[in-house]
Amino acid sequence: MPFRSLRLSLRFILPLVVALTLLAYAVVPLVDQLTLHWFVRDMDIRSRLIANTLQEPLAELLRQGNKARINALLLRVIQDERLMALGFCSGNGKLLYRTPNFPESLGCPSEPSQKKGTNPVQRLTKGAVHVALYPVEQEGVQSGSLILVHDMSFVERRSADTRKYIIMFFILLGVVISGITVFVAYLSWRGWMAGVRAMLRGEGILKPFARPAVASEMQPLVGDLRTLLRTLDFERRFADDATITWSPDSLRKLLHRQLAGERIIVVSNREPYIHIKNSERIEVHRPASGLVTAVEPVMRACSGTWIAHGSGSADRETVDRHDRVQVPPEQPEYTLRRFWLTREEENGYYFGFANEGLWPLCHIAHVRPIFRSSDWKQYTAINQRVADAVTEEAASDDPVVLVQDYHFALLPKMIRKTLPKATIITFWHIPWPNPESFGICPWHEELLKGLLGSTILGFHTPFHCKNFLETVDRCLETRIDHESSTISRDGNLTMVESYPISIQWPSPWQETQPTVLECRNAVRSSLGLAADHLIGLGVDRQDYTKGILERFRAVESMLKRHPEMAGRFTFIQIAAPTRSVLEDYRAFEDQVRDLAARINGRFSTGSWQPICLKAEYHDPEEVNRYYRAADVCMVTSLHDGMNLVAKEFVAARDDEQGVLVLSRFTGAAHELHEALIVNPYHIEQTADALYQALYMPDFEQRERMSSMRTLVRDFNIYRWAGRMLLDAARIRQREKLAMRINHSS
């Protein structure tokens, strides 16, 4: 057996040997005690039997006073090999008769053997003996006591034999169990290795459309192994060396190597750059959107076309006759193609079906979803309009299209209809609910069919993937392979995978940003705070899913339970207004403003207020300065797909200080384990976490932040895009090979 196999076997055998040795060590003394107890009881019975037998003849000889016959009687009785000696004591404790082997040191015992608690075993110079004392009566009167001495040496010999047999039994048991364990482990290892080799060959794991040929006991590991092996396979194919730095250059390298330099088409509702008319000037803004934050760096790296809704007041003035404009403005790297919406279309498609219907439905945030037939009609029409734009922008009949989010659930099927060879990657940025919840939507089947037009359908977490598979299984006639996470319907195959989204690393202002000390001093100075004043930070759109109200209540609870924090701590909430057209959002903005005012009214002293609400847009570079200035960042979403604010805060803290308080209901909580994880519905728990964060020692902050920064750095946005694009490249290559084989046959 090779040395490596021997080491693996020893991992099974050594713990077993240790366990059996400890068990034997505990069992042997117990067996000795039981053996002694059994033999002592046997000696008691034998002694009682002999005493009863000698009672009458000995009493008669004592009455006669015949010493010779008494001695002869005693000598005759000790012919039994176990009975060592006999003696007779008078009533006053004098030894009158005894056999030659009677121990001199024994004398006449003072206690009868029948007395409870008396130990009949005594250890003499010649060894252990069993001593029994029984009264001898003459005509109803006790005339003396008969002493019976049994040799116990045979008990020790038998105990030694028993110990030897027990040790031999445990040794044999250890050998047998070890052999069985190693044999079973060897067979299992062979099965596991065969399964892993099958996965490495692409049988079921690296080939998402094939059924995996792996052992049944390995099925619980298939999902994790598939993700791990796909990542390792990507790095093996992609890297020229062992170290990979995920960057725009590495992503371009991937496209040229795996996708022959394909230009990517991205579709989203939110555009990455908005042109706003301000008096006589046109200003360019980047919207407060996690999707834009994540996808825009990918487009800079990959080039291509981004199709999005033009919502800015100067958007029409800045496009050409084909509704295109080159972005970013300062250094164009890709094309932005805008589509336009009338007020009625925007109200129905965007504010209506998408944000009054799908958004609350998927977030399960205690706001009832609203579905109207008129909104559904507009949603369908806009999806078709965007599908036509994709067809126009495609430079070939097999483009790579990245469809972003819940605004375009019907789009993949529509694109598939006009471009059947297209590789369509749809990423769902928000949570996917359970089948019962999603079934509330009157058009849930149409939405599912639309999404199944995708080649790859991505979610943030495996849990969301599982919910989607269960929803499809409940609602549609399809063939679902849970092992390879694929869905087959009408001849199309869709791979459903988790791709946890991330952020750009390093940030574009990495080299120009102020130091942490400068940011801290600037923020505190702008608010009139002392240099040692503690600052908490929240950065969100004013959305009811973000847990802003719960966050404020946690601040209130912390101040109530720790009154010494008054005047020493301020919580800054950056809350960009969003979807203010909708009544639920307007009402929520009022609630946020009213709660902040109430808490400030309760705790404010002089010029100090505990909550500083900044209900206005801040550009990303400005938000980054707040990240660097804060002592604590609170992310208390009630339900979130990922939440990139948590990762942005971690990325901003190159000083490895600051603490992240993170809701367990975010996708980020599945990755950033070193954050203080809280249930935002539990106000006191969140308040305690905030207080703990404010007074966490520097060394603990450094350990937690260093670990989280390593994860965000290694799993940045380029790696997220790279994984999806590599999967797309693999599928494209496989489909081309299949078409070639079909044509040749």
Domain-embedded: residue 313: yes
Same domain, 403 and 532: no
Domain-embedded: residue 609: yes
Q: How many CB atoms lie within 10 A of CB 364?
A: 16
Same domain, 541 and 442: no
Q: Does a cis peptide bond (omega within 30 degrees of 0) precede residue 506?
A: yes
User: Is-contact 719 235, C-beta < 8 A?
Assistant: no
> Domain with 428 in it: what CATH number?
3.40.50.2000
Percent of the chain surpassing pLDDT 70 = 88
Residues contacting residue 325 through CB under 8 Å, at least 6 positions apart:
318, 319, 335, 336, 338
Same domain, 610 and 544: yes
User: Is-contact 402 266, C-beta < 8 A?
Assistant: yes
Given a cut of 50, whether residue 476 has pLDDT beyond it is: yes
Tell me what pLDDT residue 189 has. 66
Domain-embedded: residue 285: yes
pLDDT digits (tens, 9 = 90+) for 522-556: 999 999 999 999 999 999 999 999 999 999 999 99
pLDDT tier for residue 212 given thresholds of 50, 70 and 90:
very low
pLDDT tier for residue 64 given thresholds of 50, 70 and 90:
confident
Tell me what pLDDT residue 11 has. 66
What is the DSSP code (8-state) at residue 259?
Answer: S
Q: Does a cis peptide bond (omega within 30 degrees of 0) precede residue 328?
A: yes
Same domain, 313 and 462: yes
pLDDT digits (tens, 9 = 90+) for 233-283: 555 555 443 345 678 888 777 777 777 767 889 999 999 999 998 888 888
Residues contacting residue 206 through CB under 8 Å, at least 6 positions apart:
199, 200, 226, 229, 230, 233, 730
Winning range, highest mean pLDDT, from 169-173, 219-223, 328-332, 610-614: 610-614
> Domain with 78 in it: what CATH number?
3.30.450.20
Domain-embedded: residue 220: no
Least confident of 325-334, 338-347, 381-390, 634-643: 325-334
Tell me what pLDDT residue 356 has. 95
Coil vs helix vs strand at 380: helix
Supply the mean pLDDT for the chain.
85
Domain-embedded: residue 543: yes
Domain-embedded: residue 7: yes
Query: What average pLDDT does this structure show over 357-379?
Result: 93
Cα separation, 11 vs 476, whole angstroms: 48
* Domain boundary pick from 133, 159, 185: 159
Tell me what pLDDT residue 12 has. 64
Query: What average pLDDT does this structure show over 563-569?
Result: 94
* Domain boundary pick from 159, 191, 224: 159
Tell me what pLDDT residue 286 has. 81
Same domain, 586 and 677: yes
Same domain, 536 and 675: yes
Query: What average pLDDT does this structure show over 464-489?
Result: 93
User: Is-contact 704 675, C-beta < 8 A?
Assistant: yes
Cα separation, 429 vs 340, whole angstroms: 23
* Domain boundary pick from 435, 469, 498: 498
Same domain, 285 and 351: yes
Same domain, 431 and 527: no
pLDDT: which is higher, 12 or 40: 40
Same domain, 701 and 554: yes
pLDDT tier for residue 683 given thresholds of 50, 70 and 90:
very high
pLDDT: which is higher, 645 or 62: 645
Instruction: Tell me the CA end-to-end span of the chain in Å, nearest whole number.
Output: 48
Same domain, 71 and 14: yes
Same domain, 548 and 475: no
Same domain, 486 and 557: no
| Total domains, the chain | 3
Tell me what pLDDT residue 619 has. 87
Winning range, highest mean pLDDT, from 66-70, 74-78, 723-727: 723-727
pLDDT digits (tens, 9 = 90+) for 283-307: 888 876 667 877 888 888 888 999 9
pLDDT tier for residue 198 given thresholds of 50, 70 and 90:
low
Tell me what pLDDT residue 347 has. 95
Q: Which amino acid is at 729?
A: A
Domain-embedded: residue 508: no
Tell me what pLDDT residue 315 has. 93
Q: What is the domain extent for residue 622?
A: 516-715
Domain-embedded: residue 87: yes
Query: What average pLDDT does this structure show over 601-611?
Result: 93
Tell me what pLDDT residue 192 has. 63
